[in-house]
Structure formats: structure tokens, C-alpha cells
Amino acid sequence: VFKNPKEASINVAHRIANIIKDKQKNNLNAVLGLATGATPIAVYAELVRLHKEEGLSFKNVITFNLDEYYPMQPTAAQSYVSFMNEHLFDHIDIDKNNVHIPDGTLKLEEIPAFCLDYERKIGEVGGLDMQILGIGRTGHIGFNEPGSAPNSGTRLVTLDDLTRRDAARDFGGKSFVPTKAITMGIGTIFKAREIVLMAWNRKKSPIIKKAVEGEMSSEVPATYLQLSDNVEFVLDEDAASLLT
């Protein structure tokens, strides 16, 4: 638990930087699972600063984002492709061929094969060294909404009404928020060697309490993280305020 989101974000960014540098020393790629949303913005800002001011290179970094709305054009302002470019990829020296984000432009019938391929690609490069997560007020991680199975893989899902309400501001109204998304599964996330879930603000404190102290249930998908030995919650004091 950190005093504020900024200190917490800097800590997470430095851990990511250490993974990248350790891998560089051994001529290996670092494979990162990335999240979008308000929560990781300051983490990406610190990674950009480390690149610009301290020479941290991302040449050996391969990334897989958790999710993308469906349908979604990558050029749309609300796409997670635009988000990642704006907050990270356009400001660092990553090879864009090493960037993977679920494709919101697929035809429905193309999605199952795409999802299997996403899983295969993660495996092929050695699996995720670290997956960073935010948490939705429904308890979703990625877009694994209530009802998601602990062994779920990358797939097309239906967004919860609360998730769409929370996204309404970005889209200029709930009716413009897509009803579906392509997301890594809980099983996909679980395979990461380290999982770091971040949450800030009092708004997240009820769901953080459920995720950490509540009974494990598909009703709150983040409770499945209780099963993992490799998970850490990084919180600010407000998000942690209801924990006993």
C-alpha cells in the first residue's frame, strides 16, 4: 500500500524496467502483459521518462495487451490501440511488430481462430514475464466479467452494464460503448510469471475488499487471484481503506 497513486506507479514502472534490463543483460526478450484504462497511465508515463531521460530501451520488449472493444477500429480515439500509442508506444523505441493488441476489426467468425493464435503467440515467446492489471467495479480483470471461468482463455465476451456505464464518458454516452470485447482469459492471465493488480481511489475500495478478503466466486472474477502464488496488489491508501 502506497501513500498515493504516483508513488505506487513509479514503483511498478521500476519493476517493469528491472525486468527489461535483466533480460537485456542475458540477450533475452521481456514479455509484458499490458492494461489500459486510467489506472496504469502514470506507470506508462514513468516508463516513457525512463526511456527519454535514462536511456531505457524497449528494443527487446514484446507486449500483449489484455483486451480491446469489439467491434473497434484501431484508429478510433476510444480504441485501446490509440490509448497504447498515446500513452506508451509512440514515445519509446519498441518495435511495433512486437506489439500485440486484440483485433477489434475481425469478422465474428474469425474471432475464435484469432484468440487461439493470441494464446499461441504468448506461449511461443516464452509466456508473460509480468502481467499488469487494473480492476473494474464489477470485479473484472481484463474484461473477464462476472460469470467468467477461472480457466478461461482469450475470447469474445459481453460487457457488464456497469462496465459500459463506467466507459460512457469516453464514448459520449453509454449507448455508444460497444457491448462486446475480446479479452485474455483468467487462465491466460494466470500463466504470467508475475501478476500485479493496481487500484487507486476510494471508488475502488469496495471491490478491492471483495477481491482480497471476499469468498472466491465467479461473481467477482478478481477473487480467483487468491489462488495465485505470483500475484501482488499494489494500492494507494484510498483503495486499501476498507481492508481489515
Catalytic residue set:
145
Query: Which stretch, 108-116, 123-131, 137-145, 205-213, contacts ligand F6R (CB under 6 A)?
Result: 137-145
Q: Is 136 in the site for ligand F6R (CB under 6 A)?
A: yes
Query: Residue number with the shortest CB distance to ligand F6R?
Result: 134
Cis check: omega of the bond before 71, within 30 degrees of 0:
yes
Nearer to ligand F6R, 98 or 142 (CB): 142
Nearer to ligand F6R, 143 or 224 (CB): 143
Q: Is 243 in the site for ligand F6R (CB under 6 A)?
A: no
CB atoms within 10 A of CB 93: 11
CB of 165 to ligand F6R, least distance (A): 12
Residues 85-124 within binding reach of ligand F6R (CB under 6 A): none
Query: Which stretch, 19-27, 37-45, 102-110, 229-237, contacts ligand F6R (CB under 6 A)?
Result: 37-45
Query: How is the beta sheet containing 61-65 ordered, strand by strand?
Result: 99-100, 61-65, 30-34, 130-133, 195-199, 231-235
Name which of 84, 67, 72, 65 is nearest 122 in CA terms: 65
Q: Which of 5, 33, 142, 221 binds ligand F6R (CB under 6 A)?
A: 142
Size of the site for ligand F6R (CB under 6 A): 14
The residues of the shown chain that bind ligand F6R, judged by CB under 6 A, are 35-39, 66-67, 134-136, 140-143
